[in-house]
Amino acid sequence: MKKILVTGGAGYIGSHTVVELTALGYTPIIVDNLCNTTIQNIEGIEKIIGKKIKWHNTDCTDKVGMDKVFAEEGTIEGAIHFAAYKAVEESVQNPQKYYDNNMGSLKVLLELMCKNKVKNIIFSSSCTVYGMPDFLPVTEDAPFKKAESPYGETKQICEGMLKDDICNSVALRYFNPIGSHSSFLIGDCSADKASNLVPIITEVAIGKREKITVFGDDYNTPDGTCIRDYIHVVDLAKSHVLAMNFLINNPGKYAFNVGTGIGISVLDAVKAFEKANNLKINFSIGPRRSGDIEQIYANGSFVKNKLGWEAKETLEQAMKSAWEWEKLKC
């Protein structure tokens, strides 16, 4: 079976992708130093797939350590690169951490892929590469505007690194992943305090936080709050497997939006969680947060045409699974 190196494979999206890779006959090899997740996700993967998973506890910016991984694993068909810091607000506060890690890990990976003749990489990009788009829903040919955060800028730079490299690549520009696997054995197990909306909502629901702060209600949107495209993490994971299949058979360089195409405001997301789980969530309105864009959601026609991918899971299903995961995790 073809080996796929999955950096950050114990993380939120990575763990779900490892499950989907295994289901379709690949042999995933996880590289993750657990800096922003826990071993619970690795144990959860093994319970879901019914066997042990190969895991290297290695920092992806450590070239010597990564060189040993490649040497030990031998022939590798491709890599899926998740390993990166991902909190927009933290990137504004500590930009150098994001530049060093997000770009440094990709640099090491590309150098070692070249050395070991690994030709295919799927890159975990983000809709933040578009900055504040001129039109919605945003398409893949929209120009990159000024990034609203250092996190977004690292994704722009990394996509540039891929374009200049000799490898075949797919950049998957995610929108906002939420939810959990139906087993509730893997999920968002970030080592630090939750920074994304839905995990914060679930922490309020379970009593870890008193309330949510909604950052700004004076945007030019129907209810004044930011609008995002919330995609179930299982749907997102499946897009990586389809992208790898596609890239192996169609060498080249590609970028795809991966979202539902539906824009949901922050307040509507809170209401959707409340409705799905019959709960009430406390929130207050705060000032705008640095690094946030007003609204963005995907045009998914290109990814559907090329990969045959489209979102299947509903917002209600995602909100229910997010709550079940919160009750059982860590």
The pLDDT assigned to 192 comes to 65
Domain ranges in the chain? Answer: 3-188+226-262+292-328
The two tokens of residue 194 are 């939750």
| Secondary-structure breakdown of the chain: helix, strand, coil percentages, each rounded to the nearest 5 | 40, 20, 40
The pLDDT assigned to 191 comes to 63
Domain covering 3-188+226-262+292-328: architecture: 3-Layer(aba) Sandwich (3.40)
The pLDDT assigned to 291 comes to 84
Half-sphere exposure of residue 35: CA atoms within 13 angstroms, side-chain side: 16
> Alpha-carbon dihedral of residues 286, 292, 295, 299, nearest 10 degrees?
-150
**What Rg value do the Cα atoms of the chain yield, rounded?**
19
The pLDDT assigned to 330 comes to 59
> pLDDT tens, position by position, for the chain (330 residues)?
899 999 999 999 999 999 999 999 999 999 999 999 999 999 999 999 999 999 999 999 999 999 999 999 999 999 999 999 998 889 999 999 999 999 999 999 999 999 999 999 999 999 999 999 999 999 999 999 999 999 999 999 999 999 999 999 999 999 999 999 999 999 998 766 788 999 999 999 999 999 999 999 999 999 999 999 999 999 999 999 999 999 999 999 999 999 999 999 999 999 999 999 999 999 999 999 988 999 999 999 999 999 999 999 999 999 999 999 999 885
Give the β-pairing of 120-126 and 78-81: parallel
Burial of residue 218 (CB within 10 Å: 0-12, 13-18, 19+) is exposed
- Does residue 230 have an active-site annotation? no
The pLDDT assigned to 300 comes to 97
Identify the sign of the CA torsion 214, 215, 218, 220.
negative
Helix and strand numbers (H, E) in the chain are: 12, 13
151, 219, 254, 297: the active-site residue: 151
Give the β-pairing of 168-174 and 120-126: parallel
